[in-house]
């Protein structure tokens, strides 16, 4: 796994109001193809996607499905985007339908990780649904190598440590509130994917990437991790990848 991963949000839909890139057009088919191949050619070996990211899964399968052995593929279950509106379904039936659709779109028989794509009420998902058990079934069936949690609250993330192989946790120079959760995850031999490293595009790249790049394996706590960043432009990804490598 590369220390820098690609978040495939923007190749699937136009970013919402919370993103600095609001108003920028979604890449067309040719641009998406160029971007995905370019990301792999940069040496990035982790791609993060989700059904909620619109065309993202379909484009990944269409353009780099034939390079499947070159990257770790992470997708999610629980959140969907239907006609531009986010909806959640953590029922066993809904999650199974979701992952089967994802595998078809991604043109693969398995993914490397499935994460619960939790809403702000993430603790209720863990307590009131069979979502975790359903994920474990997917793992037993060979649909995924690992399972994990992409949550919101400290309490839910703490509880997810007990069963997760991988956790996607918000972490940046602007938001260090999850530092203790990350430390606990590493202590439990969990791989951590940092999300919102650039604070949804609102941080300057050098400062933001330097912060996570300096968390090297020499730091006992911050060992198994990958900083996931996204862009709709290949040249931007190339610049940030080069910067990150220099900062390491």
Structure tokens at 71: 């990257």
Q: How far apart are CA 149 and CA 180, in angstroms?
A: 16
Annotated catalytic residue, options 9, 19, 53, 194 = 53
Contact assessment for residue 80 and residue 102, using Cβ atoms and an 8 Å cutoff: no
* 194 belongs to the catalytic site: no
Would you say the C-alpha torsion 53, 57, 63, 65 has a positive or negative sign? Answer: positive
Residue positions annotated with a catalytic role:
53
């Amino acid at each position: 796994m590369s220390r820098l991963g690609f978040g495939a949000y923007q190749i699937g839909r136009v970013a919402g109001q919370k993103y600095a890139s609001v108003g920028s057009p979604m890449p067309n088919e040719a641009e998406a193809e160029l971007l995905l191949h370019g990301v792999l050619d940069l040496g990035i070996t982790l791609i993060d996607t989700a059904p909620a990211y619109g065309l993202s899964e379909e484009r990944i399968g269409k353009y780099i499905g034939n390079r499947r052995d070159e990257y770790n593929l992470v997708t999610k279950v629980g959140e969907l985007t239907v006609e531009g509106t986010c909806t959640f379904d953590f029922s066993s039936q809904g999650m199974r339908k979701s992952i089967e659709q994802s595998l078809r779109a991604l043109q693969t028989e398995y993914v490397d990780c499935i994460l619960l794509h939790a809403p702000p009420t993430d603790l209720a998902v863990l307590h009131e649904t069979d979502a975790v058990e359903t994920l474990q079934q997917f793992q037993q069936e060979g649909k995924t190598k690992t399972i994990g949690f992409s949550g919101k609250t400290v309490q839910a993330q703490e509880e997810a440590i007990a069963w997760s192989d991988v956790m996607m946790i918000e972490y940046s120079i602007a938001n260090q509130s999850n530092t203790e959760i990350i430390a606990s995850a590493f202590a439990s031999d969990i791989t951590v994917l940092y999300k919102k490293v650039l604070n949804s595009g609102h941080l300057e790249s050098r400062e933001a990437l330097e912060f996570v790049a300096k968390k090297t394996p020499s730091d006992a706590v911050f060992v198994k991790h990958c900083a996931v960043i996204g862009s709709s432009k290949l040249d931007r990804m190339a610049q940030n990848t080069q910067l990150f490598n220099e900062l390491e």
